[in-house]
């Protein structure tokens, strides 16, 4: 008989099978602490290290790429393959070659997204104004730094900015670039972080440099006198709005209207669109024009095509004979993104803190940053000159007796004693003695030493001048102003965007001729709608409905009117009656929630037809309250299809009644009680969301079930159901009103 196997203890089995105790358990954790420990670090990382630019005008991804190209010698050298640049940048930016290459493309001259590109590119880099024009792979394109980058890296090796370790602590990278001009405002920058975003428009380099210099000299300088408006690449037009410009300049937020630029070719009878707003692209515009032509809203165009080529953007629109090009363009500006808004949000990291600043505040922050860069550069130069002076002063003492120096070196037995003996012999310190000891034998002559010591007085003057700069903020500001003028002179370009101070292109939408004829509207409880003409109605039989459905409302009106559908979600949907086709009684009709795009689970409660929005509405709620408002509260100047806050949402809506004037209303509760109320007793309110007044008293568990206009002679004794004051209970129907016969004794 085989011996029994010894059972492994449960704890040992757990260890043998590699199972961790407690694995798979669901541990409750407060949502607040989970967000704080997991989401907040991610959000802060995106804000501080990815999406929001800093005062030098760059995000970390931009800065890492440009610094890598600078260290590769691409500022002065020839172009190299983009793949080489991408690979080298991964030492600083480990987010993958695709992300790095995309960053380089957007900063390139070929992509044309920046007023002053930082990357001098060769090859296909796509175009910012085309969605479908893809750029070539990095192995096919070449790039180097543009000449303007010399202003970004000027004196970066003179301790002008701080350096930090890269992600694996093998290299150093700058935390900021010491740009000699306000690059944060010169080139457009967009970023979306967590809970915030940044969208900085571009300004003309020459105008920005002049404005910054003027603000340094005079803090109360009028910015608009030297910086009239932003400047966008591509040369689109800017519709000048002084209020909007002031808002952007003061707060850093606002909207600027941009418009495409075009020319009319009379010989070919076509419009050539030569620039578009920076917020759109060619494909979106062409697709929208085609869609408008198909809808019949634009009938003046025979063809539209994209003719963008080597000479730049060009969209050609062929016109039909006799079309006025200016009126057509005014129409296209209105209906397409050929005219669009640029939403400004000047959100910048200042000392690690996101701040939304206006133009003046941003220039002041940049000036403070640049002053610190100049001060650090000046201090670095001063230190280097002081070290040089110190060495030359030691060398000058050797000039007094060269033979003595040679004798000391010759008679010193140990090499380690040479420096100490020179220090003792000439009264110099260790650094000076080391410098003297390293001089070659051929240089130990009077001529060499005299030439070197002639610079002592010049160095003293230069050090004194640098000390004066370090002590004076005014001197530092003067240096910055000179640098700004040099940058404007060297790299300044004329404005690309034309400012339009008076808009003469105005499109007035022509009202479509809508045929007006009598018709009857039917609305069922399930939400189906029919529009039937009198002739069709006379020839029709019974109405077709879904099982259990019935007609809720029947309104005789005309085709040229507005229809308002009130829903159980306190919303109203507006639609033109002529948007519905003429139907028949034998059809189900249009399902309103689907036709009007209502929210999921939303149902229409009532339909109102009107032309002039005169009259009143009465809203009845399950809690026994009723509210009365004027119908004109729902009139809008534009063609809005949906209005939220149509009525109160504090209680369930029972019904909505349209009344041209005050009349008697019949309220019915779930208990069977009936109350007659004159609508004049319900106070007229000025807001749509009013809860109204208590009309019918309800006991626990009871609700208001129905409200309708009272029809004369409905009740034998109407006074039975009226009340002197509101709210009231109402009364149960009498036997006579119920239609029951009275029993009598014979």
Active site residues: 140
| 8 Å CB contact between 561 and 635 | no
**What does the buried/exposed string (b/e) look like for 690-716 if buried means 16 or more CB atoms within 10 Å of the residue's CB?**
bbbbebbbbeeebbbeebeebeeeebe
**CA angle, 400 as apex, 396 and 405 as ends, to 5°?**
90
| 8 Å CB contact between 89 and 101 | no
Strands 684-685 and 625-630: parallel
Nearest to 298 by CA among 310, 286, 307, 290: 290
500 Cβ neighbours under 8 A, 6+ residues apart: 237, 238, 239, 240, 259
| 8 Å CB contact between 151 and 179 | yes
Cα 553 from Cα 708, distance rounded (Å) = 11
| Dihedral pair phi/psi, residue 206, rounded to 5° | -60, -45
With helix as H, strand as E and coil as C, how does 324-387 read?
A: CHHHHHHHHHHHCCCEEEEEEECEEEECCEEEECCHHHHHHHHHHHHHHHHHHHHHHHHHHHHH
Nearest to 208 by CA among 183, 179, 175, 240: 183
| Dihedral pair phi/psi, residue 101, rounded to 5° | -65, -40
What's the Cα-to-Cα distance from 549 to each of 523, 528, 552, 568, rounded to whole Å? Answer: 10, 9, 9, 18
| 8 Å CB contact between 85 and 143 | yes
Report which secondary-structure segment, H or E, holds 316: strand 315-319
Report which secondary-structure segment, H or E, holds 302: strand 301-306
| 8 Å CB contact between 703 and 710 | no
| 8 Å CB contact between 408 and 417 | no
Cα 708 from Cα 706, distance rounded (Å) = 7
**Dihedral in degrees, nearest 10, Cα atoms 337, 341, 344, 345:** -70
């Amino acid at each position: 008989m085989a011996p029994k196997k010894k059972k492994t203890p449960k704890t040992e089995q757990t260890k043998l099978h590699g199972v961790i105790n407690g694995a798979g358990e669901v541990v409750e954790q407060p949502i607040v602490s989970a967000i704080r420990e997991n989401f907040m670090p991610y959000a802060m990382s995106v804000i501080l290290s990815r999406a929001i630019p800093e005062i030098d005008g760059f995000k970390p991804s931009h800065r890492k790429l440009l610094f890598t190209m600078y260290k590769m010698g691409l500022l002065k050298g020839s172009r190299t393959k983009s793949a080489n640049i991408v690979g080298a940048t991964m030492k600083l930016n480990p987010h993958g070659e695709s992300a790095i290459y995309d960053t380089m493309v957007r900063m390139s001259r070929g992509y044309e997204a920046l007023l002053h590109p930082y990357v001098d590119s060769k090859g296909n880099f796509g175009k910012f104004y085309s969605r479908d024009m893809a750029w070539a792979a990095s192995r096919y394109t070449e790039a180097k730094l543009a000449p303007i980058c010399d202003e970004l890296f000027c004196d970066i090796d003179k301790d002008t900015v701080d350096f930090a370790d890269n992600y694996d602590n093998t290299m150093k990278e700058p935390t900021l670039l010491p740009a000699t001009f306000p690059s944060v405002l010169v080139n457009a920058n967009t970023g979306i972080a967590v809970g915030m975003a940044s969208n900085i428009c571009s300004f003309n380099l020459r105008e920005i440099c002049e404005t910054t210099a003027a603000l340094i000299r005079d803090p109360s300088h009028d910015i608009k006198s030297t910086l009239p408006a932003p400047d966008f690449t591509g040369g689109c037009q800017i519709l000048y709005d002084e209020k909007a410009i002031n808002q952007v300049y003061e707060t850093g937020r606002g909207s600027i209207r941009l418009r495409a630029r075009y020319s009319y070719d009379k010989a070919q009878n076509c419009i050539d669109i030569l620039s578009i707003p920076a917020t759109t692209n060619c494909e979106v515009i062409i697709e929208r024009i085609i869609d408008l032509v198909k809808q019949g809203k634009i009938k003046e165009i025979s063809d539209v095509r994209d003719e963008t080529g080597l000479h730049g953007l060009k969209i050609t629109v062929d016109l039909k004979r006799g079309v006025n090009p200016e009126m057509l363009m005014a129409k296209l500006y209105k209906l397409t993104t050929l005219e669009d808004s640029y939403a400004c949000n000047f959100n910048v990291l200042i000392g690690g803190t996101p701040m939304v600043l206006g133009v003046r505040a941003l220039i002041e922050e940049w000036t403070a940053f640049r002053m610190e860069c100049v001060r650090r550069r000046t201090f670095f130069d001063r230190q280097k000159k002081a070290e040089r002076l110190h060495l030359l002063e030691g060398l000058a003492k050797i000039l007094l007796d060269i033979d003595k120096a040679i004798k000391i070196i010759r008679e010193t037995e140990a090499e380690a004693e040479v420096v100490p003996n020179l220090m003792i012999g000439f009264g110099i310190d260790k650094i000076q003695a080391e410098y003297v000891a390293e001089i070659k034998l051929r240089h130990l002559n009077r001529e060499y030493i005299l030439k070197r010591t002639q610079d002592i007085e010049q160095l003293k003057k230069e050090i004194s001048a640098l000390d004066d700069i370090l002590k004076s903020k005014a001197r530092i500001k003067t240096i910055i102003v000179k640098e700004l003028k040099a940058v404007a002179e060297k790299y300044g370009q004329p404005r690309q965007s034309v400012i339009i101070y008076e808009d003469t292109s105005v499109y007035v939408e022509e009202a479509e001729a809508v045929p007006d004829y009598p018709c009857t509207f039917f609305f069922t409880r399930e939400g189906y709608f029919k529009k039937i003409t009198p002739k069709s109605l006379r020839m029709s039989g019974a109405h077709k409905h879904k099982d259990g459905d019935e007609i809720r409302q029947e309104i005789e009106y005309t085709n040229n009117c507005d229809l308002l559908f009130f829903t159980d979600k306190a919303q109203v949907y507006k639609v033109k009656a002529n948007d519905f086709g003429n139907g028949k009684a034998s059809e189900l009709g249009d399902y309103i929630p689907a036709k009007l795009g209502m929210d999921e689970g939303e149902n229409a409660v009532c339909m109102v037809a009107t032309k002039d929005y005169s009259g009143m509405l009465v809203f009845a709620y399950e809690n026994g309250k009723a509210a009365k408002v004027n119908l004109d509260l729902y009139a809008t100047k534009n063609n809005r299809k949906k209005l939220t806050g149509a009525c109160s949402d504090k209680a369930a809506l029972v019904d909505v009644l349209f009344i041209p004037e005050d009349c008697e209303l019949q309220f019915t509760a779930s208990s069977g009680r009936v109350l007659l109320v004159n609508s004049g007793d319900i106070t007229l309110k000025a807001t749509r969301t009013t809860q109204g007044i208590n009309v019918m008293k309800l006991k626990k568990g009871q609700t208001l079930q129905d409200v309708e206009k009272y029809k004369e002679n409905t009740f034998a004794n109407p006074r039975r159901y009226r009340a002197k004051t509101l709210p009231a209970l109402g009364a149960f129907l009498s036997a006579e009103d119920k239609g029951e016969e009275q029993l009598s004794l014979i």
